[in-house]
Amino acid sequence: METISGILDNKGTPLEKQKFTWKEMAGKPISKLDDDAFTRVRIILMNGVETDALRLKHGIARFNKELR
């Protein structure tokens, strides 16, 4: 329970110390009509790769006693 209270006590980074704006982080959205189909496939594929990596990391962390 100590980690949960530590997360809730975090106030975040002040605006003047943040490195990126929201526009820089979000990026430009793709257009269904103007972009190539291969671009959409790459985005869907990379989303799946990222999701799978996070699930694998979580599964491995469950079996590591030092991370518990």
pLDDT of res. 1: 47
Decide: 40 and 49 in contact? Cβ < 8 Å: no
The model's pLDDT over 1-55, given as tens digits with 9 standing for 90+, comes to: 455 566 677 788 888 888 888 888 887 888 888 889 998 999 999 999 999 999 9
Query: Which pLDDT does position 38 carry in this prediction?
Result: 93
Domain that holds residue 45: 2-67
Contacts of range 20-26, beta carbons closer than 8 Å, 24 or more positions apart:
none
- Are the beta carbons of 43 and 30 closer than 8 angstroms? yes
What whole-number distance in Å separates Cα of residue 44 and Cα of residue 48?
6
Q: Which two tokens stand for residue 34?
A: 């103007």
Q: Structural domain tally of the chain?
A: 1
How confident is the model at residue 3, as a pLDDT?
Answer: 57
